[in-house]
Structure 1
Amino acid sequence: MAEDEGTRAATIFDVARLAGVSHQTVSRVLNGLPNVRPATEQRVREAIAQLHYSPSPAARALVTRRTRTIGLITPNNVDHGPASIAMHVNIAAREARYSVDAVSTAGADASAVRASIEALLRQRVDAVVVVVADVPALEVVSAIDVSVPVVASASVPRPGPRIVSIDQYRGARAAVAHLAEQGHTRILHVAGPAGAPDANERVRGWRDELAARRLEIIEPEHGDWTAASGFGIGGTLDLPHGSAVFVSNDQMAIGLMSALRQRGLHVPEDVSIVGFDDIPEAGYLFPPLTTVRQDFAALGRAIVQKVLVALDADGEETIDTPLPAQLVVRESTRPVGPADDAATPTSDASTGAPRA
């Protein structure tokens, strides 16, 4: 028996006829794409409500030739920054009614990143987002030519139209400026891996702020983002009274502070410390850590918005200003004061031996 016309489920074409628009316009409204007049969108939504239209993912894919799926490539690690970006891309994608297929790269080399992109393309994703943690991945993203938009979360001196970032450079300069304004003239840097774009931008900001203030630049020590590497570096740093250290992430700062305690040094009485990221634990350390906060929720929303614009045939792609980072001042920094010789004996910073 033929299906009764009155009980047949409405289609996107029924909505288009009732609203007096094309089915492509209905699709744009359903997908939350820009460049639809408010009055037109209102007519479409009224038609959707009147017909009780509820598109299935399969129907949407047939009409739009899209799967409403974003491919997400993350580094093969559990560092706070990339993990937070991935989480907030998922949240923003869900709010835009997209699903996310996530993969981790098998290595840091260019071929591993390219293989991950190709694997996602076989899943018919509409776009690919790459959370860039090293220079080879950035080079692949910059050079690859595929059939879908590729958007990168990457820290670079000159962003491109499909690159979204938080301003690591100005965040680093704010951290160093804070220490300099407290009277510190010896401001060391514990950097991240030399091949990491985030670490490179933080080094660049640290150098430029010191140079602008005519302060001595001592070559940074490089860790691997882990607390263990910060602890190892903290055991050997030359830290006379009044020194300060800008650390490229909070985990390494935690390890550094632990090493200083073992050496008998006090934070911030002997050494002021600034981290980067503002991990959830930063405010609960002893002392609470001064750090640079990254708004990963805003970054996730900006990445997904960049994807939506890239998917919109009429969308205008622009080069956006990096999102700001915010200095959060807590108790691990303080103005330089005279050494407290009456305090509990501390160690000589360069040797670890007790002071006389």
Structure 2
Amino acid sequence: MREMSALKALSARVGADPLLVQAAGGNTSLKQDGVMWIKASGTWLQHALARDIFVPVALDPLLAALGRDDPACETCADFVRGDLNSLGLRPSIETTVHASLAQRIVVHVHCIATISLAVRADAEAILAPMLAGFRWAFVPYHRPGLPLAREIRKRLKPDTDVLILCNHGLVVAAETVAEAEELLDRVVKALTRPARPMRAGPEPRLASLAQGSAYVPSPDPGVHSLALDPVSLAQARKGTLYPDHIVFLGAGIAVAEPGEAPGTAARRIGLTGRPEPKLIVVPGEGVFLPQDATPAIHAMARCLADVAVRLAADDPIRILTREDELALVNWDAEKYRQSLPTA
């Protein structure tokens, strides 16, 4: 199937670009002959050429269920074509989002440029002139999956092919993979803004600060911008900015107080009833992550640093509420995604 081969190639390309996709984030799909092939939950787009990462979903039954708001649409497990799913993969948590768009090809990415705008409280107004000429819609924040699909369906027009998801990311849709790729590239270019240079790290003394704790300095020098760039720190410490952050890094970040050990800072946040953060910032020094941090945790730490250097000091930021955070960490679909191998 030529289009599937092209979709796999596009998936691998965007999945390997950390400014578009981080870890198992993002998803792509193709609709053909009554089946929607969509990335499996917990798989990585960058592996699309090397592994079987797509799940076949019966499209018409799923659309009918969406029309009656059937709870089965929450996991979409009932709509998987078992005869075509020899590996027993589970469909993406965004399956209903992809099904809601009529176009054959749908690409959803956690584009850094998009997120840095979509987390703003005035995002829709800021985006309007940047996306003039595109057939786009802004979608207020809802939990990924069925709640988000419901909101998207309210806002779709027959020709809508670009969605900006508040505090989440970007979706483009087209009839061919080539058209989807071209549209994705144009939207990303339209939304790209200058970023402050990342402050380098780590400093040699970071290892001594982590001594005796279950935390180590991030091995990625760019991540330390969260501690060394005052604007990045000020914006990042406001709270959780997007869903994959809470899923893989816990609630927001922990900012250590003078003389406070990284683990103590994380537990202090957990005592407030929020999911304990895995990313600890010692201002002016560096960023610490758990010793057993997964590749996904490292990728999401870099994601936050990349978003933060694109935020200005006076950008008004909308953060996820505590209810938003708990809805994600207590969601069975996300628990399943976290349980899968991370690379």
Pair in the same fold by TM > 0.5:
no
TM-score, normalised by the number of residues in structure 1: 0.25
TM-score, normalised by the number of residues in structure 2: 0.25
